[in-house]
Structure 1
Amino acid sequence: MSPAGVSAPDALADALLAARLCAIDPGLGGIVLKGGEMLREAVLAELRAGLGPERRIPVNVDDERLLGGINLTATLAAGRPVRREGLLAEAAGGFVVLPMAERLSEAVAGRIAAAIDTGEARFVTIALDDGVEADARPPAALAERLAFHIDLTDARPGAALPPVAPAARAADPPGAIEALVTTAAALGIASARAPGFALRAARAAARAEGRCLVTVADLALAARLVLAPRATQRPAEPEAAEAPPPPPEQGEGQEEAATDTPPLDDLVLAAALAALPPDLLARVAEGRSRQRARANGAGERRLGHARGRPLGARAGLPGGGKRLSLIDTLRAAAPWQRLRGRQNRVLIRRDDLRIRRFEARAEALTIFAVDASGSSALARLAEAKGAVELLLAEAYVKRAEVALIAFRGTGAELLLPPTRSLTRARRSLADLPGGGGTPLAAGLDAARLLAEAARAKGRTPFVVVLTDGRANIAADGSTVRALAESDAAAAARAIGLAGIAAAFVDISARPRPEGAMLAATMRARYLPLPRADAAAMHAAISAVQAA
């Protein structure tokens, strides 16, 4: 699930309303807008109508252009330091737009977040999220400081909002803060910023309608726009309460007390729950967080000095593969030229040297460990072959490789070494053998060793185990079932301790507890797929890699 949590045909109306609230109260930080490339202009137009200057910040911006610094050309010409403002200072009182925010480096996101926290140049931030893969999203340090996360992918064009005359300020009703904090806790929101943003949004909503008092409808709107996209758990069902005692008999002339109004906490929580899409409710019900903990199956981001996406330069000495950044070196040396006695030349010292940095994706390797024993061979070998071929078809796009290990008889065999070649894979998979016992421990150990070897070479391994989980051949080749199960559990524990991302696909006709227990020991996702074909298996594995 993307960080933009609001996803509905009328999401554009929510985005326009969020833009208006940000214009009324820039302290809301801004909006993360996902998708909807043709609809974003309407949101930006709403901001232009209520705010000042607009500045676009490219994804590869350097510190000097972002924060301001020495104007190198003017400094060298004038013989004295000449400063210029950065993009953030130029946007004071207005808003900044971050195209392709999912590609923003953590360093740049941290500098923008620091500028938001200090409030020296108050501005609204619009982060445009064009990410396709699950792990391609704006950095968390920045997204957490933006009140609204809205998905325009399925939105439809709509009418613009009518003009308003905002009120000066709006007061809170009794219990407003408690209701928002309680709702945030019920939804599993750990950040203290979320209920604070929700309260500011409710006040801004009241001001937008010219009112001086926040109503329950304003609090419900804030919960829907701010808290619902950040939900990470389903609220616990309330325990069944004992039947209340019967009310005392009323005498003549006594009026019945009107106590049918639900508590404020329940109204705000109900509004937040109503905004959660059905698929999110299903994931929350399974206990899955929307926040991505790690990139399973995708190549890790790694810093380098030779190739990849350019990052900001840092102080350092060139050599050993590190390349000098000449422009950044001159920028660092320029302010000191008068003190160094510059005479028609630039004096550069060791502390001025800057080296270039890049960020590149490591190659990913998906390792299939397939149970080719007699109990599973006929049922699943064809599906495993098809899933491998489908993954290989995507290999060139995702910079991924696929390997295949088959375990049967008394051991495991590497049938397909890591490759991207679909032709080679088909040739190796054509005669995949089947039959015999289930040496599950040998198969898991072989997959772990291959994954550790791939990690040592800079790849990101992901293990997919396809078996019914019923080991009957021990690591030493004996047929003692108790020893075989103990060895399989030890091999699964070794994978978990090694921190290797994995998925356990239970291919038995009737999934049994053994498979789920082994998956938990491996710290792997458990997928019972008793009747899945190659396409369904490929879809399930891809979903786990993206989760």
Structure 2
Amino acid sequence: MTPGRIHDALRLLALDGAGLGGLWLRARPGPVRDAVLAALEPLGARRIGPQTPEDALSGGIDLAATLSAGQVVSRPGILEQGGLVIVTGAERLDPARAARLAQAVDDGGLALVCLDEGAAEDEGLPGALADRLGLFLYLDDMRHDALDDLDTVSAGGAAMQGPDVTLAPDQVRALVETAAALAIDGMRAPLLTARAARGLAALDGAATLTEDHLARAVALCLAHRGTPLPQTDDTDETAADDTPPPEERDSAAEDDSTDAPSDSLPAELLVAAARAQLPSDLLRSLAEGRRARAAKGSGGTGAAQRGHRRGRPLPARPGRPGDAARLDLVATLRAAAPWQTIRARTAQVPRLVHLRPADFRIQRFEERTERLLIFCVDASGSQAVARLAEAKGAIELLLAQAYARRDHVALVAFRGKAAEVLLPPTRSLVQTKKRLAALPGGGGTPLAAGVSTACDLAQMAARRGLTPSLALLTDGRANIDLDGQPDRQRAQDDALSAATRAGRGLPGGIVIDTGRRPSPSLATLAERAAASYVPLPRADAASLSRTVAPLLDG
């Protein structure tokens, strides 16, 4: 990240923030981020957060003023006022709030600056907002002394008029081809990039839009949306093999010069500029974060439960207070406020506030249950020693992530003729690692016993208020039935029956095929269990953990 890009982003935000949707500011708290936010102060930015009440966002009745004046007094919402709004803790926005903000951006007149402090791959700006914010800045690689002259940038740009230059047809084609080369879906990103390029030209006082304006706009609006380049070990060999002889290169150059217009802008230059603007590890982190958030949906916690006692507050609903429901006094007064003038005229007894049963509002809360990850591990002889070691290493990495989220974990192992619960549900990372390290290998594969034992454990956990999820690691070569007898066909049938039971009792889950070749029978078992099937024939512990973690977060 260069100071010039930060200057460009802030000047565009002051010039045409509503047209560009706003700025995605990915940075940890610190002096660099504080300097950027201080540059926005002349624009009169207001702040909201994940817990800002809905009535503050959308407006409504000013309860205190209404009760004092005896007539309805309304107040505008923050989003209705438009302008620049800073969203703190944007990586913690729930899907409903993110959709509400995205709709406000679509309505126009509003520019958002979303502060993203996400550290893990599954933490980041919700996709609905990331798609609509045209500008992106990453500040964790910046030094504070590089931003000494930032304080006057936004104030100067605020007084300028909107962009009025246009893009030539070849420039439009170059932008679209660049987005396609970066594997960016949809047309919103190229349109925002074109608008940013026009804004940069207007800020520079240019009558025409140049290649430099396009490259700077691509760096701000397209680079972070792309996918990282695949890493290959034979790049040089491939390049050498694909290089045509000199005479063929000359003829190919002549053909290209006759087909392509001489003044066209090569999209390859814009793609290279986009790739060079952000660190490769950041591009990879953003791409993996998008996949992780798409895989896990609304979050990695347990199931949502509605109630009237505790949890995250929800909007109040009409109802009668009682033993299980408490009166929401503020919401009740707000519902009664518009009718006070009419009720005062017809009231037989003068009162300060006139209430009716229809005004009553009750409190509501949403509480997330704690989650339990049940690791069901194949420790049989068909699971080779090396593969078992890889599975152990992957589980240790996943256990560390579960511990950070304060999830419960349990460990079930099956080998020989039966399955065993090596570790009941616990949050102790030390105990889990000890039991996992002591897990022996060898013997038959009682797959049905393992899945059945995991189901029994899940049912007991559900009765304790936990939300269980299953992670089954096996090569699928079941050869011991539920009675402990060596019967391969019956063992397969018992395993499918246990998987059907798991599909009814375990929401979600994953079946990891650790065999050398993908097993069709194990894919069928995963379908019966309503779980994701992932064949990983040649994976070490780290790659196994990276593949499994997003699916377990659902």
Determine the structure 2 residue equivalent to 1:523: 532
Q: Which residue of 2 aligns with 1:112?
A: 101
Question: In 2, distance between residues paired with 1:178 and 1:77?
Answer: 61
What is residue 128 of structure 2 aligned with on the other side?
Answer: 141
Identity %: 44
- What CA deviation, in whole Å up to 9, does each residue of 1:300-322 have, x standing for no partner? 46253332333443444444744
1:35 Cα shift? Answer: 2.4
User: What is the rounded CA distance, in whole Å, between the counterparts of 2:458 and 2:3 in structure 1?
Assistant: 45
Q: 2:22 aligns with which of 12, 27, 30?
A: 30
Asked if the contact 2:316/2:362 (under 8 Å) is kept, the reply is yes
Residue 429 of structure 1, CA deviation: 6.3
Match of 2:508 in 1: 500
Whether 1:326 and 2:329 are equivalent positions in the alignment is: yes
User: Which stretch has the larger CA shift, 361-370 or 172-181?
Assistant: 172-181
2:36 match: secondary structure? helix
Amino acid at match of 1:34: R
Look up the SS of the partner of 1:21 in the other structure. helix
Question: In 1, distance between residues paired with 2:393 and 2:518?
Answer: 27
- Could you list the per-position Cα deviations for residues 104-154 of structure 1 after superposition, in whole angstroms to 9, with x for gaps in the alignment? 3444444433332223xx232111123344444344333332212433333
Q: Which residue of structure 1 lines up, in the alignment, with residue 369 of structure 2?
A: 362
CA distance 1:143–1:483, shift in 2 (3 Å): same
Per mean C-alpha deviation after superposition, the further-off stretch among 105-114 and 422-431 is: 422-431
Q: Distance in 2 between matches of 1:142 and 1:287?
A: 14
Supply the AA of the counterpart residue of 2:24.
V
SS in 2 for 1:25: helix
The alignment status of 1:173 with 2:161, answered yes or no, reads no
Contact 2:22/2:113, CA 8 A, preserved across alignment = yes
Distance 1:287 1:41, change over 3 A: closer
Task: Give the counterpart letter for 1:302 in structure 2.
Answer: A
Give the whole-Å Cα distance in 2 for the aligned partners of 1:486 and 1:406: 20
Q: Quote the offset at 1:294 in angstroms.
A: 1.4
In 2, Cα distance between the equivalents of 1:73 and 1:431?
A: 65
Q: Structure 2 CA distance, aligned partners of 1:427 and 1:449?
A: 23
TM-score, structure 1 length as denominator? 0.77
SS at match of 2:101: helix
Residue in 2 aligned with 1:66?
A: 57
State the shift of 1:329 in Å.
1.5
Q: CA deviation at 1:325?
A: 1.7
Moved more, 21-30 or 448-457: 448-457
Where does residue 126 of structure 1 map in the other structure?
113
**Alignment match of 1:48 (pick from 41, 49, 59):** 41
Question: Secondary structure of the residue that 1:438 maps to in structure 2?
Answer: coil
Alpha-carbon shift at residue 57 of structure 1 (Å): 1.6
- Distance in 2 (CA, whole Å) between partners of 1:284 and 1:127 is 16
For the Cα contact (< 8 Å) 1:170–1:203, is it kept in 2? yes
For the structure 1 residues 467 and 111, does the alpha-carbon distance in structure 2 shift closer, same or farther, using more than 3 Å as the test? closer
Pick one of 411, 414, 427 that aligns with 1:407.
414
Code of the aligned partner of 1:523: S
CA distance in 2, matches of 1:215, 1:135: 38
Could you tell which deviates more after superposition, 204-213 or 56-65?
A: 56-65
User: Kindly tell me: are residues 368 and 334 of structure 1, through their superposed partners in 2, closer, same or farther at Cα, counting changes over 3 Å?
Assistant: same
> Counterpart in 2 of 1:5?
none
Distance 1:345 1:383 in 2: 72
Aligned length: 519
Structure 1 residues 385 and 227, CA gap change in structure 2 (3 angstroms): closer
Partner of 1:338, secondary structure, is helix
**Offset, 1:297:** 9.0
| 1:330 to partner: Cα distance | 0.8
Report the CA distance between 1:419 and its aligned residue. Answer: 2.2
Cα distance change on mapping 1:520 and 1:152 into 2, 3 Å: farther
Other-structure match for 2:195: 200
Task: Give unpaired runs (5+ residues) of structure 1.
Answer: 1-9, 250-254
Q: After TM superposition, list the pairs within 5 Å mapping 1:471-510 onto structure 2.
A: 471-474=478-481, 477=484, 479=486, 481=488, 500-502=508-510, 504=512, 506=514
Contact persistence 1:396–1:420 (CA under 8 A):
yes
Runs (5+) with no aligned partner, structure 2: 231-237
Greater per-residue helix proportion:
2
- Distance across 1 between alignment mates of 2:401 and 2:410: 14
RMSD between superposed Cα atoms in Å:
4.6
Where 1:339 maps in the other structure, the secondary structure is helix
User: Structure 1 residues 402, 330: closer, same or farther in 2, change over 3 A?
Assistant: same
What is residue 235 of structure 2 aligned with on the other side?
Answer: none
1:255-306 Cα distance to aligned partner (Å, 9 max, x none) = 9999677654444444334446434776899998465231599314625333
Q: TM-score normalised to the size of structure 2? A: 0.76
Query: 2:66·2:73 contact (CA, 8 Å) conserved in 1?
Result: yes
Match of 1:340 among 340, 343, 368: 343
State the alpha-carbon separation in 2 of the partners of residues 394 and 57 from structure 1. 30
Q: Structure 2 vs 1, CA of residues 319 and 422 (structure 1 numbering), >3 Å: closer, same or farther?
A: farther
**Alignment partners' CA distance in 2, 1:72 and 1:18:** 40
